A and B are shown apart, each in its own frame.
Chain A
Amino acid sequence: MTATANLLAFLGLTATLLLVWRQSWPARLRLFAVQSALLAVLATAIGVLAGKWALLGVGAVFLVVKAWVIPRVLWRIGAGAPVRPIAPGHSSGIALLVAGVLVVAAYVIMLPVNRATELPTEGGIPLAFAMALIGLYLCVTGRDAFGHILGFLVFENGIFALAILATYGLPSIVEAGVFLDVLVVVLIMEGVVAQVRREHASTEEARLRELRG
C-alpha cells in the first residue's frame, strides 16, 4: 500500500512539474487530465487497499469530473487562443526552480504532520501538499485567464490528494460538495472568460488589469 500510494503521488507531482515546464496550453490541459486520472487511480487504489469502498465511488466521480468534463470545458475556454504565448523572454527555468523550492517547503511544512501520523500513506503527504502549493503558484503566475483557472484546478487536485492520503478521503457529502463547487467555478469562469474576451479580444493578464474599477 505504501509503495502504491507513494508511486502514484510521485507520478502526480511529476505531472504537475511537467505542467509548470510546458508552455503550450493544449499540452498543459492534457497534463492536467493525466494528473487528474492519476489521482482517481490513487483514490481507487487506497479505497481497495484500505477497504474504504466509498472511495471507489469518489474515484469514479473524480475521473468523470476532473479528467473528462472539466478538461472539455477548459478546451472551450482555451479554443481560439494561440497555442503558445508569443512572449519573448519567458522561459520555464525560473518557474521550475520555484516549483522545486516549493517541494522543499512542502516537506518542511509537513514535517510535524509526518512525525505525528503513523499512516502507511504518510510518505505521499508532502508530495500532495507540494502539488497544491505548485498549483497555487501556477495560479499566481498565470499569464492569462486560462492559466489562472488551470492553476486553481491543480491546487484543488493537490488538496484532494492531501485529503485522500491524510484521512483516506473526506465524508462523501463533503467530497460531493467540493466536486460540485469546482464544476460550478469552472462553468462560471467559462462565462466570465467569454465575456472578457468579447470586451477585450484577449484574456491576457496585462489586459485584465484594465478591469480595475
Chain B
Amino acid sequence: MAAAGALAAAAIGLVALVLGLGGVAGSAWTVVVDWLVPLGGLELTLDPLAGLFLVLVGGVALPASFYAAGSAERSARGALAYPVFVASMCVVPLAANTMTFVIAWELMSLASYFLVLHEPEERASVRAAWVYAVMTHAGLACLLAGMLLMGAWTGSLRFADWRAAAPGLGAGARGVVFVLLAAGFAGKAGVIPLHVWLPLAHPAAPSHVSALMSGVMIKLGVYGLLRAGLDWLGAGPAWWGVAVLLAGTVSSVIGVLYALVDNDLKKLLAFSSIENVGIILIGVGAGMLYHGAGLEGLALLALAAALYHTLNHATFKALLFLGAGAVVHATGTRNMEAMGGLIKRMPWTAACFLVGSAAIAALPPLNGFVSEWLTFVALLQNTRIAQPMLNLVFALGVAGLALTSGLAMACFVKAFGITFLALPRGDAAARAHEAPPAMRAAMVALAVVCVALGLGATLVVPALVTVAGALTGDRAPVAVGDWLTLGVSGGFATLSTLAIAVALGAALALPLIALRLAGAARGQRRYETWGCGRMLQTPRMECTATAFADPFRRVFGFFYRPEKRLDITFHPGARYFVQRIEYANPTRSIFDDWLYRPALDALRSVAHRARAIQSGSANVYLAYIFAALLLLLALA
C-alpha cells in the first residue's frame, strides 16, 4: 500500500519534471475546466517560472518516492496523503486563478499535516502537527484576505487580470495586498519569526516527506513571494524589496545560529532550511530593489541567483534529509550525541551526506557555492543605486550573508563530523547498517545532481535568467559568459566551476603522481588515531556536538540566552566525592519567550473572559441567535 502510494507519487513527479522542463524551455499552455471548481473553474497555466517550480517538485519527488518505496518501513500510514501532497504541490505553481490556487495550497497543507502526524501516539508528533496546522492556516487566512481584497478591487479572481489591473490600483491598496500575501507566503517559507512550525514539523515527518517539505514545499512560499512581489502586483515601491531583503537577512543569520547549536540531526537540517530560505530571499529582495530602480540586468542577476539557490537548496537539502533519514533508520535516534563512526558502517550514506554538506556549506565547485557567489555578486553592485539608505540595506544583506556562509560551514562540519566520524558513541550507532539499495540510489542521484548543478553553472544560469526575465517582463538578453566561464555584469566578476574542479582535482592528483614518480614507498600502514599518548581511547574522549557548538553559544550568548543546569549527586558517605554530574545547557528561543508566549497568553485570557457568554443554557444560546436575527433585520 505504502509502496503503491510512493510509486504513484513518483509517476506524478516524473510528469511534473517533464512538463516543468518544457515550461523552462519556453512551452506555454493553459488548461481551463470550468465545471470542476466554483468561482472561475480550474485554470492551470504553464509559464517559465511555474515550469521551474514544477521541475523542483518533480526533481525532488522522484528520488524521494523511490527512497520511500525502498525504505523498510511498510506502514500504510500516509499512503494516500503522500501522492496527494505531491500532486497538490504540482498544481500550486500552475494555478492561474484564486480558487485553483487556494484549493491546491490548502490540499498541500492538509496532506502534509497528515504526513507530519506520522506517529499519532507520540506527544511531540501531535504537538508538531498542531503547531503546523495553526501556523499554516494563519498563513492561509492572510493569503485569502489578500487575494479576496485584490479580487474585489480588480473585479476578477484571475491572476492574469490582476497583472493588467495592478498598475491602476492605488499605492495603499497594493501595499495592503502585498503585506497580506507576503505574510501568508512567508509563513509557508519559514521566514523568521513565522518559522516556529518548521523545526517541529520536519523532524516529526518521515524523512522522504521532510525532504519534500523542506526541499519543495517551503519553496512554494518563495514562489508565492516572487509572484506577489513582481508579477501579480507589478513592480512595487522600494520598501517591498527592503522588507524582503531584511527578512531574508534576519532569517538566514538566525536560522543558521539555531542550526548550529541543535543536536537533533533533522532539526538542525530544518533550521538550516530557514537559513537557506533567508539566502534566497536576500536574492529576491535585491532583485525587487533593482527592478524598482530600473536596473534590469542586475535585477535578473539577483533573481537568477535566488532561483538558482532555490534549485540548489531543493537538491542538497533533500539529499541531506534522505541521508539523515537513513541514519535515523539505522541508529533509531535523531540525537547526534548518540551517533558517530557511521562512515565505516554506512559508507554510501556518508559519502552522499558529505556531498550534500559540502554543497550546502558553499564549497566550490558544488552548486551551493555558485548560487551564493551569484547572490554576493548581485548584492555588491548596489552602488549603482544612488540612494544611501538602500545601499545601507544592501550592506546589511552582504554582511548577513557573509556571516551566514561562515556559520553554515561550521554547522555542517558539525553535522557531518559528529554523525559520521570518530568512534560510535552508542550501541545503536555501533550496530548501524547501510541503507537498502533503493534508498542509496535516491541519495546518489541527488548527489549527482548537486555536482552537476555546480559544474554545469554556465548552462543553468542562462536558463534561470530567461525565467527571471519572463517574470519581470524584461526579455532583453543578458550576457552571462561562455560555456566555460560565468561572466556577469560585463566582466564585474567571473567564475568557472569547471576550472576550479580541474584545479582541485589536479591539486589532489599531482602530489600523488609526483610521489609515485619520486619512487615513494607505496605500502599502506594502518594505525589508530593519535590520542595524545593516552593508552586508552574511548568514545567518551570525543568532541561532542554540544562541545563543538559551545564557542558559538558563548559568542552569541546574548541571542541564545543559554541556561546552565548543573545537577550533582554527591556520594552519600562523603561530600567530597561526586557520584554523578549532569550538565545541561539548553538555549531559549527569544521568539517563544517574547512573541508567541505573550500572544498566546493574551489569547487565552480573552478566551477565558469570553466563556462568560457560554452559560450552558440552550435558551440563552437560542436567544443570542434570535437577538442577532432581529438586530440584522432591523438594520437591513
Also in contact, A211 and B630, with CB within 8 A (given A140-B622, A140-B623, A148-B622): no
Name the residue of chain B whose CB is nearest to the CB of A143: B619
A17 within 8 A of B: no
Q: Is the CB of B617 within 8 A of A137?
A: no
1/0 per residue, CB under 8 A from A, across B605-636: the answer is 00000000011111100110110011001100
Question: What residues on B are CB-neighbors of A210 within 8 Å?
Answer: 616
Q: Is the CB of B619 within 8 A of A211?
A: no
Q: Is the CB of A209 within 8 A of B633?
A: no
Name the residue of chain B whose CB is nearest to the CB of A138: B622
CB distance from A130 to the nearest CB of B (A): 12
Q: Is the CB of A212 within 8 A of B622?
A: no
Q: Is the CB of A205 within 8 A of B634?
A: no
1/0 per residue, CB under 8 A from B, across A193-209: the answer is 00000000000010011
Q: Is the CB of B616 within 8 A of A212?
A: yes
Interface core residue of B618, B625, B626, B634 (most chain A CB under 10 Å): B618
Q: How far is the CA of A211 from the CA of B630 in the complex (A)?
A: 28
CB distance from A52 to the nearest CB of B (A): 27
Question: What residues on A are CB-neighbors of B615 within 8 Å?
Answer: 209, 212
Also in contact, A205 and B629, with CB within 8 A (given A109-B634, A140-B623): no
Q: Is the CB of B626 within 8 A of A140?
A: yes
Chain B contact-residue range equals: 10 to 19
1/0 per residue, CB under 8 A from B, across A104-145: the answer is 010001000000000000000000000001001101111000
The A-B contact count (CB < 8 A) is 35
Q: Is the CB of A211 within 8 A of B616?
A: yes
Question: What residues on B are CB-neighbors of A208 within 8 Å?
Answer: 617-618
Q: How far is the CA of A140 from the CA of B618 in the complex (A)?
A: 8
Q: Is the CB of B619 within 8 A of A140?
A: yes
Question: What residues on A are CB-neighbors of B622 within 8 Å?
Answer: 136, 139-140, 142, 148
Question: What residues on A are CB-neighbors of B617 within 8 Å?
Answer: 205, 208-209
1/0 per residue, CB under 8 A from B, across A81-116: the answer is 000000000000000000000000100010000000
Interface on chain A toward B: helix, strand, loop, or mixed SS?
A: helix
Q: Is the CB of A205 within 8 A of B618?
A: yes
Question: What residues on B are CB-neighbors of A212 within 8 Å?
Answer: 614-616
Question: What residues on B are CB-neighbors of A209 within 8 Å?
Answer: 615-617
Name the residue of chain B whose CB is nearest to the CB of A102: B630
Question: What residues on A are CB-neighbors of B626 within 8 Å?
Answer: 136-137, 139-140
Per a CB cutoff under 8 Å, which of B616, B619, B630, B633 touches A142? B619
Name the residue of chain A whose CB is nearest to the CB of B620: A140
Q: Is the CB of A205 within 8 A of B630?
A: no
Name the residue of chain B whose CB is nearest to the CB of A141: B619
Q: How far is the CA of A210 from the CA of B616 in the complex (A)?
A: 7
Interface on chain B toward A: helix, strand, loop, or mixed SS?
A: helix
1/0 per residue, CB under 8 A from B, across A133-173: the answer is 10011011110000010000000000000000000000000
CB distance from B132 to the nearest CB of A (A): 26
Q: How far is the CA of A205 from the CA of B616 in the complex (A)?
A: 10
CB distance from B604 to the nearest CB of A (A): 17
Q: Is the CB of A148 within 8 A of B630?
A: no
Q: How far is the CA of A208 from the CA of B617 in the complex (A)?
A: 7
CB distance from B610 to the nearest CB of A (A): 14
CB distance from A161 to the nearest CB of B (A): 17
Name the residue of chain A whose CB is nearest to the CB of B614: A212
Question: What residues on B are CB-neighbors of A139 within 8 Å?
Answer: 622, 626
Also in contact, A148 and B633, with CB within 8 A (given A136-B626, A140-B623): no
Q: How far is the CA of A211 from the CA of B623 in the complex (A)?
A: 18
CB distance from A16 to the nearest CB of B (A): 16
Q: How far is the CA of A109 from the CA of B631 in the complex (A)?
A: 11
CB distance from B635 to the nearest CB of A (A): 10
Per a CB cutoff under 8 Å, which of A109, A137, A148 touches B618? A148
CB distance from A83 to the nearest CB of B (A): 22
Question: What residues on B are CB-neighbors of A136 within 8 Å?
Answer: 622, 625-626, 629
Q: How far is the CA of A140 from the CA of B619 in the complex (A)?
A: 5
CB distance from B626 to the nearest CB of A (A): 5
Name the residue of chain B whose CB is nearest to the CB of A206: B617
CB distance from A131 to the nearest CB of B (A): 14
Q: How far is the CA of A208 from the CA of B619 in the complex (A)?
A: 10
CB distance from B628 to the nearest CB of A (A): 11
Question: What residues on B are CB-neighbors of A140 within 8 Å?
Answer: 619, 622-623, 625-626
Question: What residues on A are CB-neighbors of B630 within 8 Å?
Answer: 105, 133
Also in contact, A205 and B619, with CB within 8 A (given A136-B626, A137-B626): yes
Question: What residues on B are CB-neighbors of A109 within 8 Å?
Answer: 633-634
Name the residue of chain A whose CB is nearest to the CB of B616: A212
Question: What residues on A are CB-neighbors of B634 within 8 Å?
Answer: 109
Name the residue of chain A whose CB is nearest to the CB of B622: A140
Name the residue of chain B whose CB is nearest to the CB of A132: B629
Q: How far is the CA of A30 from the CA of B614 in the complex (A)?
A: 34
Question: What residues on B are CB-neighbors of A105 within 8 Å?
Answer: 630
Name the residue of chain B whose CB is nearest to the CB of A105: B630
Name the residue of chain A whose CB is nearest to the CB of B617: A209
Q: How far is the CA of A173 from the CA of B614 in the complex (A)?
A: 37
1/0 per residue, CB under 8 A from B, across A4-28: the answer is 0000000000000000000000000
Question: What residues on A are CB-neighbors of B616 within 8 Å?
Answer: 209-212
Q: How far is the CA of A113 from the CA of B626 in the complex (A)?
A: 21
CB distance from B397 to the nearest CB of A (A): 52
Name the residue of chain B whose CB is nearest to the CB of A133: B630
Q: How far is the CA of A137 from the CA of B622 in the complex (A)?
A: 9
Q: How far is the CA of A142 from the CA of B633 in the complex (A)?
A: 23
Question: What residues on A are CB-neighbors of B619 within 8 Å?
Answer: 140-142, 205
Name the residue of chain A whose CB is nearest to the CB of B621: A140
Q: How far is the CA of A102 from the CA of B629 in the complex (A)?
A: 13
Q: How far is the CA of A100 from the CA of B39 in the complex (A)?
A: 44
CB distance from A202 to the nearest CB of B (A): 14
Q: How far is the CA of A140 from the CA of B620 in the complex (A)?
A: 7
Question: What residues on B are CB-neighbors of A137 within 8 Å?
Answer: 626
Q: How far is the CA of A211 from the CA of B615 in the complex (A)?
A: 11
Question: What residues on B are CB-neighbors of A142 within 8 Å?
Answer: 618-619, 622
Name the residue of chain A whose CB is nearest to the CB of B630: A105
Q: How far is the CA of A136 from the CA of B633 in the complex (A)?
A: 14
Name the residue of chain B whose CB is nearest to the CB of A110: B633
Interface core residue of A137, A140, A208, A211 (most chain B CB under 10 Å): A140
Question: What residues on A are CB-neighbors of B614 within 8 Å?
Answer: 212
Name the residue of chain B whose CB is nearest to the CB of A145: B618
Name the residue of chain A whose CB is nearest to the CB of B627: A140
Q: How far is the CA of A211 from the CA of B614 in the complex (A)?
A: 12
CB distance from B623 to the nearest CB of A (A): 5
Quick one: which of B422-472 are within 8 Å of A by CB?
A: none
Question: What residues on A are CB-neighbors of B629 within 8 Å?
Answer: 136
Name the residue of chain A whose CB is nearest to the CB of B623: A140
CB distance from B634 to the nearest CB of A (A): 7
Residues of B within 8 A of A (CB): 614-619, 622-623, 625-626, 629-630, 633-634
A-B contacts besides A140-B623, A141-B619, A142-B619, 19 pairs, CB < 8 Å: A109-B633, A109-B634, A133-B630, A136-B629, A139-B622, A139-B626, A140-B619, A140-B622, A140-B625, A140-B626, A142-B622, A205-B617, A205-B618, A205-B619, A209-B615, A209-B617, A210-B616, A211-B616, A212-B614
9 closest A-B pairs by CB: A212-B616, A140-B622, A209-B616, A140-B623, A109-B633, A140-B626, A136-B626, A139-B622, A209-B617
In the assembled complex, 19 residue pairs joining A and B whose CB atoms fall closer than 8 Å, in A order, are: A109-B633, A133-B630, A136-B622, A136-B625, A136-B626, A139-B622, A140-B619, A140-B625, A140-B626, A141-B619, A142-B619, A142-B622, A148-B618, A148-B622, A205-B618, A205-B619, A208-B618, A212-B614, A212-B615
